[in-house]
Amino acid sequence: MGENIVHSRGSVLFRQIVFVVIVLAVLAPRYVQTEVGLQKYAVTITNLTKGQRISAPLVWSHNKQVTFFELGMPASQALQSSAEAGNTALLSDVFIRSSDVEDVVKSAEGLLNPGDSVTLTLQSGGVFNRISFISMINPTNDGFVAVQGVKIPKSNKRIVVDVPAYDAGSEINDERCTSIPGTICDGEGRSREKGEGFVHLHTGIHGIGDLKPEERDWRNPVVRFSIQQEE
* Average model confidence (pLDDT) across the chain: 88
Segment 8-36 shows an average pLDDT of: 47
37-94 pLDDT tens trace? 899 999 999 999 999 999 999 999 999 999 999 999 999 999 999 999 999 999 999 9
Residue 214: its pLDDT value, please?
A: 97
Q: Is the pLDDT of residue 15 over 90?
A: no
Question: Tell me: the pLDDT tens digits for 135-174?
Answer: 999 999 999 999 999 999 988 899 999 999 999 999 999 9
Answer yes or no: is pLDDT of 193 > 80.
Answer: no
pLDDT at 226 over 60: yes
Q: Map the chain to HEC letters.
A: CHHHHHHHHHHHHHHHHHHHHHHHHHHHHHHHHHHCCCEEEEEEEEECCCCCEECCCEEEEECCCCCCCCCCCCCCHHHHHHHHHCCCHHHHHHHHHCCCEEEEEECCCCCECCCCEEEEEEEEECCECEEEEEEEEECCCCEEEEEEEEECCCCCCEEEEEECEEECCCCCCCCCHHHCCCCCCCCCCCCCCCCCCCCEECCCCCCCCCCCHHHHCCCCCCEEEEEEECC
Query: Is the pLDDT score of 1 beyond 70?
Result: no
pLDDT at position 30 over 60:
no
With respect to CATH, is domain 38-229 assigned 3.60.10.10?
Answer: no
Q: Is the pLDDT of residue 187 over 80?
A: yes
**What are the residue boundaries of the structural domains of the chain, listed by start?**
1-36, 38-229
Closest residue by Cα to residue 47 from 116, 103, 144: 116
- Cβ atoms 127, 33 nearer than 8 A: yes
What's the mean pLDDT in 30-39? 60
pLDDT at residue 16 is higher than 80: no
Mean pLDDT of 178-200: 88
The mean per-residue pLDDT over the stretch 12-20 comes to 47
Confidence of residue 11 (pLDDT cuts 50, 70, 90): low
